[in-house]
Structure 1
Amino acid sequence: MDRREIAALLAYIGRLDPRTIRTDPGEAGDQLAQWHELLGDVPMATPYGWDARIAARQHIRLSPYQILPADVARPWESYRRERLARHCDPTPAVDPDDQSAWRAELVGTRRAVATGTAQPVQARAITTGLDGSDPRLKARLQEVGSCIPPAARTALAPYRPARAAREAALAQGMPDALSVRCGWCLAQPGEPCRRRRTAPDGTARGTAPRATPHPGRLDLAAGQQPATA
């Protein structure tokens, strides 16, 4: 805000809270200089939601204390932080090899968002093309089969035996035991069975995961396979 805007803001505040009015010309000049020094980089209003008069009125309405420049500066800083938190830098339109121009465009976009002259740019979500209706996408999915390469899946098998056993069973056409709840260890669908050890008093001492499901869970999955096929 320039000095004229600061004077207008002080006149507005004086109408709401007469305690801020300075009748002595010297005191009024000092007050104007102080507020301009502290709020010179704060705009009076922006096209997207910021208005210093609203911030001042909110303070006067809620606080019994006389308003200070900080009571306008704090909401402005919160406004800037909130907008930058919602902003996702778009890809600059300049040549990426020109680092100075690339950086300058990013800084300019962030400054425009922070000062309220541009809206935050949000990351776009992928909303189309996920149904596999594209024939080329279907062919690619059939070729790849999984997002994990076969070599990586083989290397990971010793570290996740339950999943490896499940994948091997599915590859052989056997029922997916992990698709149902285990009636023995009470493992939920998708979770591996667990080996329950009991103490002499009957309490459980451990529930280590099993690499293979319990036989009863296999029978249950086999019984449900025709119904889900």
Structure 2
Amino acid sequence: MKQLSDFTDFSDFRTNSNHYLCHMIIKSAEFICSNTQISKLPPPVKAEYAFIGRSNVGKSSLINMLTSKKGLAKTSQTPGKTQLINHFLINDNWYIVDLPGYGYARASKSKKADWSKFIHTYLDKRESLQCVLVLIDSRLEPQKIDLEFCNWLGEKGLSFVLVFTKADKQSNLKTDQNVALFKKALLATFDDMPQYFITSSETQLGRDEILGFIGSINQNFEIPDYKS
């Protein structure tokens, strides 16, 4: 079994409760660039947090909620709209990285392959990436594609946490049931359950917890060695 603690150590963060280690105020949030080429990304001198999930999981809405900047990340009724690696600079200090959603059926096989290649290359090679936030629709029972992606992160030794979205769309009991089912499914291949957040872009549930989590990691960020 994969030992989650071998590649991520967030044991000090009680991210599935109302406790967070530091309060972060978002003073600025701006779009910096979109890319399909890793070589054209900003220099890896600031901490980065990658947001990814199945198409239509509510990623853009979550990013806008976290930054309190409506329209920062473009939302769409059409799943799979994000097809680029988008960098947003927060407080002139760290990046939210909006990655293309996975699993949208209308994309061609070649397009899916292209997306998969550069997403995986970014996740595996980016020196300043601190954590991957994997978004999971809290209304659904465990989806194979989400579990497979988490397993890939585990195999690569990449730090990740889970973010369950759209909790306002159902009862707390139903959300808790689906989180428990996902935990059970993930523990088939992992020895430990990753840290997780329960969120709602509508009610701002989970906002302070996620920002506190990021802020605490930022306190210990050191600029990595990299080839310019």
TM-score, normalised via structure 2 length:
0.21
Structure label with greater radius of gyration = 1
Higher relative contact order (CA 8 A, sep 6+): 2
- Larger helix fraction of residues: 1
More strand by share: 2
